Amino acid sequence: MAKSADPNSFRRTWDKEEFAKRAQDRADDLDDDDLEPPKKKPPVKRELLKRRDYEVDLDSKLNKSIVITKATPLSQTGGYYCNVCDCTVRDSINFLDHINGKKHQRNLGMSMRVERSTVDQVKKRFEFNKRKKDEQKQKYDLQERLHEVQEEAERVRQARIDRRKEKKRKAEEEEEEELDPEIAKMMGFGSFGAKKKN
């Protein structure tokens, strides 16, 4: 490999003919296909980013104790488990960062690009929101609401009157069921504090 012309020289010198021969041998051994640069694969077509259609459960494991052993699966070792990426995140903030992040979205098959809305879509959305707002106004019409409150107050007042009448009726029935007045005189007592109505 390296030749040194002078034994006292510590500088390397290379045999250029030997290395040129090795390079030529290597080039001869390779096929023509290997000399061409590798072709790039077509990019994977991913879906545009879309809204989540499920509710993220952050509260189910709150204030609960879990016994963890060596045999406990990764999904039950505490923290928040992502079954798409097969990883566990320790707290809710980092879990939300993870599921909204690039790596998780790519594993779901989505790119981080959002579909651009057209002018027609924006106009339709404005109309939808306007209709929704009008419906809410109709639901909370002031006069109708006052009328409903008055009716409710009247029902409560009528129920109170009915309870009083029922209580009075029960009291009158109890008076009729009292002991015979002559037997009560014989025993030495008149009544038990109830006044007799005339």
114 strand-pairing partners: 49
In a domain, 138, yes or no: yes
Return the pLDDT at 13. Answer: 80
pLDDT in tens, 158-172: 999 999 999 998 888
Residues near 179 by Cβ (< 8 Å), separated by ≥ 6?
none
Return the pLDDT at 65. Answer: 82
- Last residue within a domain, chosen from 94, 114, 134: 114
Residues 80, 130: one domain? no
In a domain, 40, yes or no: no
pLDDT in tens, 22-37: 988 888 877 555 556 6
pLDDT in tens, 65-121: 888 888 888 878 888 889 889 898 988 899 999 999 999 998 988 888 888 889 999
pLDDT in tens, 109-144: 888 888 888 999 999 999 999 999 888 776 667 777
**Claim: this prediction has a pTM higher than 0.75:** no
Return the pLDDT at 40. Answer: 74
- Last residue within a domain, chosen from 87, 114, 141: 114
In a domain, 82, yes or no: yes
Return the pLDDT at 194. Answer: 56
Amino acid letter for position 27: A
Question: Domain residues for 177?
Answer: 124-187
Residue 99: CB atoms within 10 A of its CB come to 17
